[in-house]
């Protein structure tokens, strides 16, 4: 659907309607507030990045073995 035909231009917005965008915005803001209000211990950025790096490397190793 093109913007010219009355549809949403996905180059401007990935949402199908203003209502869908507003719904997502409410959900996203609630999730952010939930995280800010959480009493769970914070994980330092460097530690999170190390965990992600380990997972990525393990997935790459696993994919390499699957190709053999």
Measured between alpha carbons, how far is 24 from 17 in angstroms, rounded to an integer? Answer: 11
pLDDT at 66: 65
Q: What is the dihedral of CA 35, 38, 41, 43, to 10 degrees?
A: 0
How confident is residue 15, by pLDDT bands cut at 50, 70 and 90?
Answer: confident
Contact 7, 1 (CB under 8 A): yes
Structural domain of residue 24, as residue ranges? 3-66
Domain tally, the chain: 1
Burial class (CB in 10 A: 0-12, 13-18, 19+), 30: exposed
pLDDT tens-digit profile of 34-56? 999 999 999 999 999 999 999 99
């Amino acid at each position: 659907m093109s913007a010219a035909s009355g549809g949403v231009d996905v180059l401007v917005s990935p949402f199908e309607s203003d209502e869908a965008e507003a719904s997502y915005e409410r959900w996203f803001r609630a999730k952010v507030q939930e995280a800010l209000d959480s009493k769970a211990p914070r994980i330092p950025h460097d530690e999170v990045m190390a965990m992600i790096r380990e997972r990525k490397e393990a997935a790459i190793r696993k994919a390499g073995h699957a190709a053999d």
